[in-house]
Amino acid sequence: MWDVVVLGAGAAGLMAAATAGRNGARVLVLDHGPEPGRKILVSGGGRCNFTHLETGPNCFLSDNRHFARSALARYTPQNFLSLVERHRIAWHEKAKGQLFCDGSARQIVDMLVSECLTGGCELRIETRITDMRREGDGFVIRTGRGDVQSRKVILATGGLSIPKLGASDLSLRLARQFGLRIVPTAPALVPLVLPDADPELAGVSLTVVTRIGKKGPRFEDGMVFTHRGLSGPAILQISSYLQAGESFQVDLLPGSNVLDALRRTKQDRPRALPPRLLEMLPARLAKVLVADLGDTMLANQPDRKLRALAERLSCWKVTPDGTEGYAKAEVMRGGVDTRGLSSQTMEALDVPGLYVIGEAVDVTGWLGGHNFQWAWSSGVAAGLAAVA
């Protein structure tokens, strides 16, 4: 009889196991994959964007946007950074608040495994989990290696993103089996597919502002054209908020008075051809955007055409056909409904001893380390509660 069994050896699961083990619990970690922390290893270009210093509830999507507040407040980015520094892992701040390893993401995995082993945890990798049932005051987990009994169970098998790394719906299935509601899931932080994608623009990149409506979310960051549509940080961010069939706007020249700039160019170079209008943009993109102006000199371009071009540059309406799916998604949106969980302990309100953490919960972070911080914070919350 184990005190705590953690299902999943990813970021949240390892953090929860290490926390419970170092606080005196007998902990077993089960995972069907060939090694722990596989998603950590590929994150941040192999250097793991392990947290964001400015993370907070406003950086997450959820049906209850306040749910993450308690866990994030009790285990902060600075707490995790202190752990990183205690293990002498060199790090740097790539963009404001975004922290990466100087070396390899494997250092983070090794750190977490070391913390688990120091806490006396046992890790069983390549162990298929087939079912779980309540028995007395505890649980019985059925695996390919036989049954495992535990007083408490932490569901930490993640979501559906990046299936080639072993993504599983196990936590969602088990949660549903025990009566927890599931908020509909979808790929998030994912490239978008456009119905009229122009292969000639593939690889063109620039800084843009993406937004949904006048009061919706707004992100200023990089965008890149792909063979199938759009990607880059500004696109990944907005993708988490989009519903099927919904449109968003792109400002291709943020901070510019585009119409005034076009008029000045026309005045300064009246004999130039239309591509001269958009020298502030990548040449391939400029060529496509002014194609409908023809080869007439700028002096002969009517003002209405300049206004239409300015509108397109500052408020390009994009209606995606869909996304690149879970194969290219960094995270899953939706998951176990937070109304069925305690925000302080991550325990199921109607199933004592059952906890759900990390990506499996309906808490989805922005790009830049927020999702890892949620894994650390929710893992610590459940790990501490499971030994109380």
Report how far residue 182's alpha carbon sits from residue 243's, in angstroms, rounded to the nearest whole number.
17
User: 67, 6, 9: which is closest to 40 by C-alpha?
Assistant: 9
DSSP conformation letters of 87-120: TT--EEESSTTEEEESS-THHHHHHHHHHHHHTT
CATH class of 2-187+331-387: alpha beta
CB atoms within 10 A of CB 314: 18
CATH class of 191-324: mainly beta
Overall average pLDDT of the 233-248 stretch: 96
Overall average pLDDT of the 81-103 stretch: 97
Overall average pLDDT of the 212-239 stretch: 96
Q: Output the furthest CA–CA distance in the chain (Å, rounded).
A: 86
The model carries a pTM of 0.94
* Average pLDDT across the chain, whole number: 95
Q: Where are the domains of the chain?
A: 2-187+331-387, 191-324
Report how far residue 81's alpha carbon sits from residue 76's, in angstroms, rounded to the nearest whole number.
9
10 pLDDT higher than 90: yes
